[in-house]
Amino acid sequence: METEIITDIHPALVGSLSKAAAAETIINFGPGPTSLPKEVERKIAESFDKPGLTSLALSHRAPEFQEILDHTISTTRRVMEIPDNYEVLFTHGGGHGQFAALPLNLCHNQSDIATYVVNGTWSARGRDEAQKYCCVETIDGSDPDTGKLTTFPELVETDINPESKYIYLCSNETVNGIELHRLPKLPDSRRHIPLVVDASSDFTSKPIDWLGSGVGVLFACASKNIGHPGLTMAVIRKDLLGKDKASPLCPGVFNYTTNSEAGNLWNTPATFNIEVVGFLMDWLEREGGVSANESRSIAKAHALYDVIDNSLGFYGTPIENKSLRSRMNIPFNINGGDEELTNKFLIESWEQGIVGLRTLTPFGVGDYLRASLYNGVTQENVSVLVDFMVRFAEENSSGR
């Protein structure tokens, strides 16, 4: 194998998140893991300064940790208005762990059917993993002509096998920039099927109608909106728990019933990460809860889409249907994907402390940059990007 050592490539072009010497502050638009709100990051730092043991050193069975765990769960329940007939679990293995945990918990037999709505990178990945453990039927959300993933398919009765153990969707396709601002309602004849939602990248950004939408399981890896990698929250409707519900092959660490019965302490949970989620939920509560957070999220996304839509085509975004545009992850290209201008944009913005617009993903570089506007990004942060984009467009659209 040949390895080429590139020494003169600008750090911005390889996804560097460092601060350029010229930049006073750094604004992280990365798709995750990413920054948490400044107040939360301060709270984390303070927790290391107080006397006694931090959650990094506490036994998970110590009363001090039990208090942290109870606090995180009760605050999450309040902020996200989670009804009492749902269990809140903290699991290992990230979003990908849940891709496997879902069929292993909800399908007792490998011949059991699960329906997957595939309208982007993450739902495809969830579906592909589930195929190892159950019999998957797919509702394909790609455009029949172009094959592109730019929409969310209508959920019609005839596409959903009534025998499905669950119907799976991703409420925010992080890579593709497609979001369901509200969960869909299943057709009446299919409402007995529990809805399973990957909310990894939009959890806490809008209210969830748990009962009305028929949510059976909703999970979110922590590293986008609520904390750090190493922890995934899974919220499970209690009627889906039970002794013989899961596949006999479901590993203990993934088994919802086992972990629920053990009060999240069947094995050692990610103790510090659980405390951080608690700090984040405290912050959300102080900032007015989930509805206020949704208003902030709408305002941040609007500011950015406005620049794109008013740029006379200098900037482009793939999702035309505004009601499906993600407020969390906003893909945009420059002059139709002009490589030279894109690199110039990346370098100039990076030098002003704007980072994370191009991270290296397993899905390739592509034409689009992406601004992720999670809880750690403020309206002021968005204004900095918006001002930069307006200026860059003015300076670089001559002769077009």
Ligand X SMILES: *Cc1c(COP(=O)(O)O)cnc(C)c1O
Residues labelled as active-site residues: 122, 198, 224
Q: Return the structure tokens found at 139.
A: 């509702």
Looking at 50-58, 184-192, 207-215, 220-228, which segment touches ligand X (CB under 6 A)?
A: 220-228
| Residue of the chain from 37, 95, 353, 376 that contacts ligand X (CB under 6 A) | 95
317 carries a ligand binding annotation: no
34 carries a ligand binding annotation: no
Task: Pick the closer one to ligand X by CB: 229 or 316.
Answer: 229
Using CA atoms, how far apart are residues 96 and 73, in angstroms rounded to an integer? 22
| Residue of the chain from 11, 15, 94, 318 that contacts ligand X (CB under 6 A) | 94
* CB proximity list for 302: less than 8 A, separation 6 or greater: none
| Residue of the chain from 129, 179, 198, 275 that contacts ligand X (CB under 6 A) | 198
* Beta pairing partners, 371: 330
Scored b (16 or more CB within 10 A) or e, 156-171 reads eeebbeeebbbbbbbb
122 carries a ligand binding annotation: yes
Total of chain residues touching ligand X, rule CB under 6 A: 13
Using CA atoms, how far apart are residues 10 and 19, in angstroms rounded to an integer? 13
Task: Pick the closer one to ligand X by CB: 152 or 345.
Answer: 152
> Binding to ligand X by residue 122, rule CB under 6 A?
yes
Task: Pick the closer one to ligand X by CB: 30 or 353.
Answer: 30
Instruction: Give the nearest distance from C-beta 226 to ligand X in angstroms.
Output: 12
Using CA atoms, how far apart are residues 90 and 264, in angstroms rounded to an integer? 7
| Residue of the chain from 28, 72, 105, 201 that contacts ligand X (CB under 6 A) | 201
> Binding to ligand X by residue 96, rule CB under 6 A?
yes
Other CB atoms within 10 A of residue 46 CB: 10
Instruction: Give the nearest distance from C-beta 311 to ligand X in angstroms.
Output: 27
Instruction: Give the nearest distance from C-beta 352 to ligand X in angstroms.
Output: 27
Contact 237, 194 (CB under 8 A): yes
Scored b (16 or more CB within 10 A) or e, 11-28 reads ebeebbbeebeebeebbb
| Residue of the chain from 72, 200, 359, 372 that contacts ligand X (CB under 6 A) | 200
Scored b (16 or more CB within 10 A) or e, 243-259 reads eebbbeebeeebbbbbb
Looking at 65-73, 74-82, 194-202, 369-377, which segment touches ligand X (CB under 6 A)?
A: 194-202
Residue listed under structure tokens 């990230």? 94
Instruction: Give the nearest distance from C-beta 220 to ligand X in angstroms.
Output: 8
> Binding to ligand X by residue 221, rule CB under 6 A?
yes
| Residue of the chain from 170, 218, 284, 377 that contacts ligand X (CB under 6 A) | 170
The residue among 273, 267, 230, 220 whose CA lies nearest residue 72 is 273
| Residue of the chain from 28, 29, 30, 32 that contacts ligand X (CB under 6 A) | 32
* Beta pairing partners, 116: 138, 168
Task: Pick the closer one to ligand X by CB: 95 or 177.
Answer: 95
Task: Pick the closer one to ligand X by CB: 96 or 302.
Answer: 96
* CB proximity list for 176: less than 8 A, separation 6 or greater: 119, 120, 121, 149, 150, 318, 319, 331
198 carries a ligand binding annotation: yes
Task: Decide: helix, strand or coil at residue 370.
Answer: strand
Instruction: Give the nearest distance from C-beta 274 to ligand X in angstroms.
Output: 16
Instruction: Give the nearest distance from C-beta 196 to ligand X in angstroms.
Output: 12
Q: Give the binding site for ligand X (CB under 6 A).
A: 32, 94-96, 122, 170, 174, 198, 200-201, 221, 223-224
**Binding site per annotation, positions for L-glutamate:** 61
**Binding site per annotation, positions:** 61, 122, 174, 198, 267-268
